[in-house]
């Protein structure tokens, strides 16, 4: 395939990322490769290597876009300051996202790079931004009872990560058809049960300690 000059570099990056999304949505990510993306956008494989360091770099860029979409979805939800309500809304939006974009969700969490390389800072920022939505919803459970102010602590961040990981585990089992080995309940029921139980546990753990009367 000959070289073309129809698009700017930014245009080509957008074309390639869009093509990856369309291919994965239609066919899953198992057969995704540089050649299939190049063929879809009408450019050579060499052009893609001029845009992205390698195949993993291209997937990482697309996954970053998926995180942006998820963050925009979360940002549009009303924040009430009530953990049960806010987490239920986040969960509903998350389940809707997975159901609407199952193959992109698979690509986001299941793709493994061919070599161990630390995630770049720009990608970490996107992850932190999405995770931050969950942290905000948990904030009232970490309130400072003496001053009536909310604190952002390492434990709060860790709690958001644990909850996210738990939900991810449920839906990973569901997506691979293995949830039935654990429970006969559907994934959304188990997810809501996890959220409710986790909130109750955090509330009990962080409740102000009562001083026993002497």
Do 45 and 106 belong to one domain?
A: no
Do 14 and 79 belong to one domain?
A: no
Do 73 and 46 belong to one domain?
A: no
pLDDT band, residue 212 (cuts 50/70/90):
low
Do 48 and 89 belong to one domain?
A: no
Do 72 and 40 belong to one domain?
A: no
Residue 110 lies in a domain: yes
* Token pair recorded at residue 161: 């990560």
Confidence check: pLDDT of 158 > 80: yes
Confidence check: pLDDT of 214 > 60: no
Do 40 and 127 belong to one domain?
A: no
Statement: the pTM of the whole predicted model exceeds 0.75: yes
pLDDT band, residue 4 (cuts 50/70/90):
low
Question: Which residues form the domain of 19?
Answer: 1-52
Distance CA 107, CA 122 (A): 18
Do 2 and 79 belong to one domain?
A: no
Average pLDDT of the chain, as a whole number: 87
- Condensed to tens digits (0 to 9), the pLDDT of residues 102-146 reads 999 999 988 776 666 788 999 999 999 999 999 999 999 986 544
* Token pair recorded at residue 137: 């919803």
Do 148 and 45 belong to one domain?
A: no
- Condensed to tens digits (0 to 9), the pLDDT of residues 49-78 reads 999 999 999 999 999 999 999 999 999 999
| Interhelix angle 55-75/102-110, nearest 10 degrees | 120
Confidence check: pLDDT of 177 > 70: yes
Q: Residue 6: what pLDDT?
A: 74
The pLDDT > 70 percentage for the chain reads: 88
Q: The CATH number of the domain where 47 resides is what? A: 1.10.10.60
Q: Residue 51: what pLDDT?
A: 95
Q: Specify the number of domains making up the chain.
A: 2
């Amino acid at each position: 395939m000959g070289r073309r000059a129809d698009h700017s570099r930014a245009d080509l990056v957008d074309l390639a990322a869009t093509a990856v999304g369309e291919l994965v949505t239609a066919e899953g990510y198992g057969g995704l490769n540089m050649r299939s993306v190049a063929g879809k956008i009408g450019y050579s494989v060499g052009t893609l290597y001029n845009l992205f360091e390698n195949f993993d770099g291209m997937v990482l860029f697309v996954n970053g876009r998926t995180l942006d979409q998820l963050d925009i979805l979360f940002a549009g939800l009303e924040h009430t300051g009530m953990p049960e309500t806010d987490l239920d809304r986040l969960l509903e939006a998350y389940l809707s996202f997975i159901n609407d974009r199952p193959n992109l969700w698979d690509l986001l969490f299941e793709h493994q790079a061919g070599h161990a390389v630390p995630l770049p800072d720009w990608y970490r920022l996107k992850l932190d931004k999405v995770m931050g939505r969950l942290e905000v919803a948990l904030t009232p459970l970490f309130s400072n009872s003496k001053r009536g102010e909310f604190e952002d602590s390492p434990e709060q961040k860790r709690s958001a990560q644990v909850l996210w990981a738990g939900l991810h585990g449920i839906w990973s089992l569901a997506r691979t058809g293995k949830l039935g080995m654990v429970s006969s309940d559907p994934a959304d029921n188990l997810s809501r049960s996890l959220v409710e139980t986790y909130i109750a546990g955090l509330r009990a753990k962080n409740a102000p300690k009562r001083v026993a009367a002497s």
